[in-house]
């Protein structure tokens, strides 16, 4: 499994993670960009931003998907990576649940594809969406999603992005109530999960909350993690 998750900050903080991402792709890679968590008026700008961010490598193609229901394996298998952009977590999950994207994503990872999720695009990869409500600027559940279950690519781990130290108690209460551990990412923090290892990259630590314990992992730390594929 090859996953990259960023905390939702500006791309200028993630030069190292971008290099790692590019290194995982090999030569002449192709990328599928999924902006569906965001405002439709900004989809084209998002594609331009992705093209600029990864301008150091010549992608064979970068395509944008605006309707997950049109995806099938014959099309998806031609890509080396999927980039799931940020925005509203619940809007994105509603789009996913109305399609076969969940099964396609599992198959894509199983066959060696790389998935890069930013903010909402990272949160949906975890076990629970409640973390999208944390902090001073929470995501609103305007899509009226009933089930808060995520895609469970990391076993029981939930993902929290835009993390600030002031939210520590809020995260701990969630862990105590639900029993799900949480990987909390500052806006200038990212993690790469390759097979059994989580690597912290960026300018700030990642924090892992488990029942009765909080572990702060500085940039450069490598940590073993259970995932769906273990």
88-89-90-93 Cα dihedral, nearest 10 degrees: 130
Do residues 36 and 93 make contact, with C-beta atoms less than 8 angstroms apart?
Answer: no
Parallel, antiparallel, or unpaired: how do β-strands 158-160 and 81-84 relate? Answer: unpaired
The pLDDT, as a whole number, for residue 14 is 67
Class at the top of the CATH hierarchy for domain 2-224: alpha beta
pLDDT tens digit sequence for 124-134: 999 999 999 99
pLDDT tens digit sequence for 135-147: 888 999 999 999 9
Tokens of 85: 């952009």
Tokens of 65: 């998907």
The pLDDT, as a whole number, for residue 230 is 41
CA gap 85, 87 in Å, rounded = 7
CA gap 119, 84 in Å, rounded = 9
CA gap 183, 123 in Å, rounded = 10
Tokens of 37: 């968590």
The pLDDT, as a whole number, for residue 226 is 61
Cα end-to-end distance, the chain, whole Å: 9
The pLDDT, as a whole number, for residue 229 is 41
Tokens of 215: 């572990």
Cα 80 to Cα 24, 146, 151: the distances in Å are 9, 33, 20
pTM score, whole prediction = 0.93
pLDDT tens digit sequence for 102-115: 999 999 999 999 99
pLDDT tens digit sequence for 17-39: 778 888 888 778 899 999 999 99
Domains in the chain: boundaries: 2-224
CA gap 129, 7 in Å, rounded = 15
């Amino acid at each position: 499994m090859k996953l990259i998750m960023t905390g939702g900050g500006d791309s200028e903080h993630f030069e190292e993670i971008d290099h790692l991402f590019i290194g995982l792709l090999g030569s002449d890679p192709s990328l599928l960009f999924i902006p569906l968590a965001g405002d439709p008026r900004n989809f084209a700008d998002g594609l331009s931003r992705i093209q600029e961010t990864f301008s150091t490598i010549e992608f064979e193609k970068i395509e944008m998907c605006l309707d997950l229901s049109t995806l099938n394996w014959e099309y998806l298998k031609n890509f080396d990576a999927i980039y799931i952009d940020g925005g509203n977590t619940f809007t994105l999950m509603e789009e996913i649940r109305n399609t076969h994207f969940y099964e396609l994503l599992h198959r894509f990872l199983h066959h060696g594809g790389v998935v890069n999720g930013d903010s909402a695009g990272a949160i949906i990869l975890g076990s629970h969406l409640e973390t999208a409500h944390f902090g001073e600027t929470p995501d609103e559940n305007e899509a009226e999603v009933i089930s808060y279950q995520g895609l469970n690519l990391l076993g029981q781990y939930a993902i929290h992005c835009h993390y600030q130290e002031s939210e520590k108690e809020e995260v701990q209460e969630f862990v105590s109530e639900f029993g799900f551990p949480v990987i909390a990412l500052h806006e200038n923090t990212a993690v790469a999960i390759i097979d059994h290892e989580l690597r912290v990259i960026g300018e700030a630590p990642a924090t892992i909350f488990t029942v009765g314990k909080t572990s702060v992992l500085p940039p450069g730390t490598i940590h073993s993690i259970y995932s769906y594929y273990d």
